[in-house]
A and B are shown apart, each in its own frame.
Chain A
Amino acid sequence: GEDVEQSLFLSVREGDSSVINCTYTDSSSTYLYWYKQEPGAGLQLLTYIFSNMDMKQDQRLTVLLNKKDKHLSLRIADTQTGDSAIYFCAVLTPRDRGSTLGRLYFGRGTQLTVWP
């Protein structure tokens, strides 16, 4: 199976940039996602990147993918207190070798705390 690793905690000051990192192990991964979870809520899809891309920008969010190193990052520009949440990296990988069915593997989540 796939192993997806994230650091557990990140603290930043309001207005600074946040960078959340993620590593994965399966080179057959196709799509890579970032989800946000606020207290008491479900997972909200933030953005995703296809494995043949190396960067995707969406307003304050920038996703960087280094496929060679199997490293994914999410940069949040001008971080606000409302960005405080848990951020999950998730990787879509074939369920079994040769399967067309996918399985989404999640990291443990990074708790982002933004200080005013």
Chain B
Amino acid sequence: ETGVTQTPRHLVMGMTNKKSLKCEQHLGHNAMYWYKQSAKKPLELMFVYNFKEQTENNSVPSRFSPECPNSSHLFLHLHTLQPEDSALYLCASSQDNQIRVGDTQYFGPGTRLTVL
């Protein structure tokens, strides 16, 4: 499945580092999403972008900074993270986040982030 790709697949960083996660979708979609998946917790929606505009931010700490330069690319910039931010970060895309036609989300493989 190469519709949604994410890099890097694994990342280890210190609390003072700055790093970025990248997501790219090849499905012609207009909506992109960042999710956080932690052990023993439900999947958490972080950000939603629709036609390059941020439409949802679920009270995510400012040490996570998303960027969506175009409908195919989504970044998550990381700065001064905490050990509890260690998780699997999943990117997804869908047609346009409109509910009327059923907006199926397709996921990338995720980036496994470890914060030391």
Chain A contacts to B: CB under 8 angstroms: 30-31, 33, 35, 40-45, 48, 50, 88, 92-95, 99-104, 106-108
Contacts and interface: CB of A to CB of B under 8 A. Distances in A.
Interface residues of B, number: 25
A106 B104 contact: no
Contacts, number: 58
A42 B107 contact: yes
Interface in B40-63: 42-43, 45, 50, 55-56
B110 interface: yes
A44 B104 contact: no
A42 B108 contact: yes
Contacts of B42: 106-108
Contacts of A30: 99-100, 102
B104 A101 contact: no
Contacts of B108: 42
22 contacts: A30-B99, A30-B100, A31-B103, A41-B109, A42-B6, A42-B108, A42-B109, A45-B104, A45-B106, A88-B43, A92-B99, A93-B99, A95-B56, A100-B98, A100-B100, A101-B99, A102-B98, A102-B99, A103-B45, A103-B56, A106-B43, A108-B42
Interface centre among A33, A45, A50 (most CB of B within 10 A): A45
A31 B102 contact: yes
- A contact patch SS: strand
Contacts of B6: 42
Contacts of B97: 101-102
B99 A35 contact: no
A101 B110 contact: no
Given A43-B90, A88-B43, A106-B42, A101 B55 contact: yes
B105 interface: yes
Contacts of A43: 90, 92, 107
Given A42-B107, A103-B56, 15 more contacts: A30-B99, A30-B102, A31-B102, A31-B103, A31-B104, A45-B104, A45-B107, A92-B102, A92-B103, A99-B99, A100-B99, A100-B100, A101-B55, A101-B99, A102-B99
